[in-house]
């Protein structure tokens, strides 16, 4: 997966298994777009914290949001953060315990988070997030109130200090182990969406919208 491109910074450079590293935007963007779940690393009173949240990408930035009362969003505003996004594509079973591994796609981003405060921009970003996950849903919803927009905090991070790391393929067994009578291979993994379950409090007769049946997350590479 290595592209030969220079890493954007020393802290973003892949050191362990550096041949799996990539710094090109198509690789990085593909991982970000395939996995909404992210983990944000930040500090509070000098103590490390990691918070899971949903992220979405628009152009050259990633965004995440939550309650205006969130300590994570409050302390990350105008602060250095690290965001990790990961997909597991399979367990890799080798002929030795040492060579077992996983197939995965991951991205780590570094930088200073920016707070999105303008109500119009915040509303536009929320619409973009909704439409990426459930195309066509935003237009069916009641409009957000001014109070709901004020109660929502949002941060963004530029995608200019980032690296991807990807493993794919069969086990990397030692040559001397290949003839051993031990099964080896890959157990593929995938994120699967199941049939929608309606809220039992909904009015009778409502049809399930198409966007609730077509959610796609974590598509396999290639």
How far apart are the C-alpha atoms of 83 and 110, rounded to whole Å?
Answer: 7
Global pTM value: 0.90
Taking only the tens of pLDDT, the chain with its 222 residues reads: 444 445 678 888 888 888 888 899 999 999 999 999 999 999 988 899 999 999 999 999 999 999 999 999 999 999 999 999 999 999 999 999 999 999 999 999 999 999 999 999 999 999 999 999 999 999 999 999 999 999 999 999 999 999 999 999 999 999 999 999 999 999 999 988 899 999 999 999 999 999 998 887 876 554
Which pLDDT score, from 0 to 100, does residue 214 have?
82
How far apart are the C-alpha atoms of 203 and 219, rounded to whole Å?
Answer: 34
How far apart are the C-alpha atoms of 39 and 81, rounded to whole Å?
Answer: 10
- Tell me how far apart the 2 most distant CA atoms of the chain are, in Å: 67
Is the Cβ–Cβ distance between 162 and 108 less than 8 Å? yes
Start-to-end CA span in the chain (Å): 12
- 3-state SS, the chain, equals CCCCCCCCCCCCCCCCCHHHEECCHHHHHHHHHHCCEEEEEEEECCEEEEEEEEEEEECCEEEEEEECCCHHHHHHCCCEEEEEEEEEEEEEECCCHHHCEEEEEEEEEEEECEECCCHHHHHHHHHHHHHHHCCCCHHHCCCCCHHHHHCEEEEEEECCCEEEEEECCCCCCCHHHCCCCCCCEEEECCCCCCCCCCCCCCCCCCCCCHHHCCCCCCCCCC
Vertex 106, ends 124 and 79: CA angle to 5°?
55
Is the Cβ–Cβ distance between 42 and 75 less than 8 Å? yes
Q: Which residues of 3-30 are buried (b: 16+ CB within 10 A; e: fewer)?
A: eeeebbeeebebeeeeebbbbeeebbbb
Q: Which of 72, 81, 209 is nearest to 138 (CA)?
A: 209
Provide φ and ψ at 170, rounded to 5°. Answer: -80, 180
């Amino acid at each position: 997966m290595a592209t030969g491109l220079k890493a954007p910074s020393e802290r973003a450079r892949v050191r362990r298994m550096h041949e799996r590293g990539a710094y090109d935007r198509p690789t990085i963007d593909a991982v970000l777009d395939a996995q909404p779940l992210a983990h944000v690393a930040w500090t509070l009173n000098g103590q490390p914290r990691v918070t899971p949240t949903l992220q979405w990408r628009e152009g050259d930035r990633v965004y995440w949001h939550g309650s205006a009362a969130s300590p994570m969003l409050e302390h990350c505003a105008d602060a250095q953060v690290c965001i990790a996004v990961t997909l597991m594509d399979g367990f890799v079973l080798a002929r030795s315990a040492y060579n077992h591994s996983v197939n995965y796609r991951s991205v780590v981003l570094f930088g200073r988070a920016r707070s999105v405060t303008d109500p119009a921009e915040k509303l536009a970003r929320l619409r973009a997030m909704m439409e990426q996950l459930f195309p066509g849903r935003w237009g069916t919803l009641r409009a957000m109130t001014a109070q709901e927009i004020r109660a929502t905090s949002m941060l963004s991070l530029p995608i200019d200090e980032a690296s991807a790391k990807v493993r794919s393929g069969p086990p990397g067994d030692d040559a001397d182990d290949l003839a051993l009578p031990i099964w080896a291979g890959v157990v593929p993994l995938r994120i699967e969406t199941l049939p929608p379950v309606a809220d039992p409090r909904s009015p009778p007769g409502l049809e399930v919208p198409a966007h609730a049946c077509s959610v796609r997350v974590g598509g396999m590479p290639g």
